[in-house]
Structure formats: C-alpha cells, structure tokens
C-alpha cells in the first residue's frame, strides 16, 4: 500500500479544508498520514475515518524549539517512508520541503496564501523570504492559488517556472455547497473566518456598528474559531468578542466544520480580509448562491465580479465596507438573488474542486 503524508499547521485546518484530498486518495487505496499540531478532538475525528494522525507540534519563534520541531518532523517522515508528501501553508511548506529534500522524498507544496510575506520587512518575514530561496529548489511541484503569489514567487526565484502550477484555489464542491432555502426572515450578514486581525474581523465589527446606526435590526454574524497559531498582535481575544456581543454589535456563533446551514440562512457572505490565497469561504458562499462582499485584494477580487456577483470594498476601510453592505441591503430582493445565481455560475465554470483533485492525482501518478 502506497503512503501519502499530509503536512498542515493544525488538524482543524485539515478537517475544514483538506478532507476531499484525504478521502480521494484513501478511496484509491492509499494509506494517509497526517502530521500536524496535536488537538485531541480533531485527531479522534480523523482517526475514526481511517487516517493516521501523528502530532509533531508546530513551529514557534524560539530557535531551539524550531530545531526540535524540525528534527521530530524528520524522524517521523523517515519512519513512515512515504511515497510522496503534500504540504500546505507557510511553515509546513518550508520545513516539509527542506525535510523532504534531505530525505530524498518527493513533495508537492501548496502556497495557500502569503499573508504579510510580500511586504512585511520584520525579522521573521525577512527570514522566511530567505528560506524560500532554498526550500523549493527540489520540490516535485509547487501549487499556487492566485496569480499574484504565483508571479511573486517566480519573480523572486523562489520556484522554477517548470515546477509552478496555478490552481483555482482549493476549489469548491458545487454539489456539496449547493443552494438551500433560507429558514429565517431577518436580514443577515455573515463573516466566516479564523479570529485574527488579518482577516478583517475588527473592520467587520466596526462596519457593523456604523450600519446599525441606521438599521438597528440588521444581523451581523461571526463564525469561526479563536486562533492561537498567529502572533499575539494579530489575535482577536475572547474579551473583544464578548464586548461586541454585549453591545449588540454582532452575534458570535462559535465554529463548526459544516458551515452550510449558516450560509443558507445568511443574505450575504462578508470577508474584509487583508490578503488571501483564494478565499474558501467566498467560494462556498458563492456556490450556495449568496452574494459576496470582500476586500479588493489578492485572493478575494478574483472571486467577485464587482457589481454583478457582489461588491468589492477598500481594504482596511470599515466605512467602505459599511457602505457596500448598505448598498447590498438596499437592492431589490430579485437583484440580490440574481447576484447569487451568477456567483454560483462563476464557481461552476471556473473553481470546481475536481480540477484540484486531478492536479494532485497527476503528481501522484508521476511517482507510480
């Protein structure tokens, strides 16, 4: 039985974003090992589905702990002896690629987004940029989710042109994320996101305050987990969320692995992010025929035809976001429904999950 290793930051991310890939190859007879940060409940869910979970921790800024993580990663990979490795997100991509190179194993890395990588001149991101000069040199392939990241890596010689492939994000299963009837009469804006500042959570809360001054009955919902994997300055605290709830600014829904019921009862999906790879929640919302509002940034603008399937707002500008939400609310119901319908058509034509699965299968076939 051939073996595939999946490297991710957290098991939650595997469950929420990578399950189609895991199931696809498991159904084809591959043995799947998931190496990530230990989270007991998520591990139990994965193991019940027949996947092997090996907690390897995560990378922290402490150099000693980073070295310990890397050595543990190498030991586990060497023991498993996989036929190929799939890695996702910055830290697993970097450490996984270097480990695979040292062990002489094929690896396919997916650049799911770069965050502040392209502009932040702090020590950490300068170090990451330097690491990329070495990490991707021997990768079998590097997948990208948007043209900006693709061009940035090629321009800076982080990856060779013959190794780089542009995908339609992570793709979306348009049958799984299909339209459902709305069960509530209230008008709802819904933001689905990890609770970090780079996703625009603070902008969403402030924009909600502005809109509620004129439309006090409007509902603003926030769905997603608190996130400790980010830096302290980028983390949204429980105290902040509690304050918004007590003030009546928004409703916090916790988090779930199945977002479809919440999308179904929303009138618009909002994501004022500062940068994305290719925003999964926007693809899911559009696939369920919901109009979208998002920042005019990499990883969001490609998913919205401005004025046709939703609206683009200025990044880091709550006033602009509030204006777009008010504009969408003021539309006739028929117009909003038409926006959602056109958004679903866009997903069906250009962002199907099967395209991504075929790309991964093509890489596995190269080693057969």
- 368 pLDDT band, cuts 50/70/90, is low
Task: Mark whether 165 and 232 lie in a shared domain.
Answer: no
**Model confidence over 34-92: pLDDT tens digits?**
999 978 899 999 999 999 999 998 876 678 888 999 999 999 999 999 999 999 998 99
In a domain, 180, yes or no: no
The verdict on 215 and 346 lying in the same domain is yes
32 bridge partner residues = 4
Same domain for 79 and 16: yes
My answer on whether 207 and 197 are in the same domain is yes
pTM, full prediction = 0.95
* Alpha-carbon 342 to chain mean position: 23
296: left (phi over 0), alpha (psi -120 to 50) or beta: beta
Q: Is position 181 within any domain?
A: no
Same-domain status, 193 and 271 = yes
Using CA atoms, how far residue 98 sits from 84, 151, 271, 280, in Å, is 14, 22, 34, 28
- CATH number, residue 344: 3.40.50.2000
- Give dist(CA 76, CA 319) in Å, integer: 49
Tell me what pLDDT residue 287 has: 98
Residue 290 lies in a domain: yes
Q: What is the pLDDT of residues 103-121, one digit of tens each?
A: 999 999 999 988 777 777 7
Q: Which range marks the domain in which residue 101 is found?
A: 3-171+352-365
Mean pLDDT is lowest, of 12-26, 91-105, 225-239, 286-300, for 225-239
Per-residue confidence at 326, pLDDT binned at 50, 70, 90?
A: very high
344 shares a domain with 251 = yes
Max Cα distance, the chain (Å): 62
Quick: pLDDT tens for 174-190.
999 999 999 989 999 99
Quote the CA–CA distance of 33 and 85 in Å, as a whole number. Answer: 9
- Clarify whether residues 167 and 237 are in a common domain: no
- Residue 145 in domain: yes
Quick check: is 327 in a domain?
Answer: yes
Number of domains in the chain: 2
């Amino acid at each position: 039985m051939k073996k595939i290793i999946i490297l991710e930051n957290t098991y939650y991310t595997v469950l929420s974003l990578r399950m189609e890939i895991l199931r696809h190859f498991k159904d084809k007879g591959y043995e799947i090992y998931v190496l990530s940060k230990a989270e007991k409940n998520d591990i139990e869910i994965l193991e019940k589905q027949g996947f092997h979970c090996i907690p390897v921790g995560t990378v922290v800024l402490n150099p000693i702990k980073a070295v310990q993580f890397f050595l543990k990663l190498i030991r586990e990979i060497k023991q498993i002896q996989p036929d190929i490795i799939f890695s996702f997100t910055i830290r697993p991509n970097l450490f996984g690629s270097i480990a695979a190179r040292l062990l002489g194993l094929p690896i396919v890395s997916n650049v799911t987004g770069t965050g502040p990588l392209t502009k932040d001149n702090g020590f950490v991101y300068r170090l990451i940029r330097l690491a990329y000069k070495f990490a991707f040199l021997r990768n079998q392939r590097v997948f990208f989710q948007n043209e900006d990241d693709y061009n940035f890596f090629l321009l800076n010689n982080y990856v060779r042109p013959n190794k780089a492939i542009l995908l339609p994000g992570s793709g979306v299963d348009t049958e799984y994320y299909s339209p459902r009837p709305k069960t509530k009469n209230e008008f709802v804006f819904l933001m689905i996101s990890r609770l970090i500042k780079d996703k625009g959570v603070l902008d969403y809360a402030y924009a909600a305050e502005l809109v509620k001054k004129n439309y006090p009955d409007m509902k603003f919902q926030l769905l997603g987990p608190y996130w400790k994997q980010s830096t302290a300055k980028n983390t949204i605290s429980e105290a902040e969320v509690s304050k918004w709830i007590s003030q009546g600014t928004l409703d916090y829904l916790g988090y779930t692995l199945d977002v479809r019921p919440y999308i179904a009862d929303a009138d618009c999906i909002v994501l004022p992010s500062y940068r994305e790879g290719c925003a999964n929640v926007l693809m899911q919302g559009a696939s369920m025929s919901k109009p979208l509002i998002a920042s005019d940034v990499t990883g969001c603008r490609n998913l919205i035809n401005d004025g046709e399937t939703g609206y683009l707002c200025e990044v880091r500008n709550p006033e602009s976001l509030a204006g777009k939400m008010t504009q969408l609310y003021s539309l006739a119901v028929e117009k909003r429904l038409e926006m959602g319908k056109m958004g679903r058509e866009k997903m069906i034509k250009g962002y199907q999950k099967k395209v991504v699965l075929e790309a991964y299968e093509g890489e596995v076939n190269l080693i057969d």
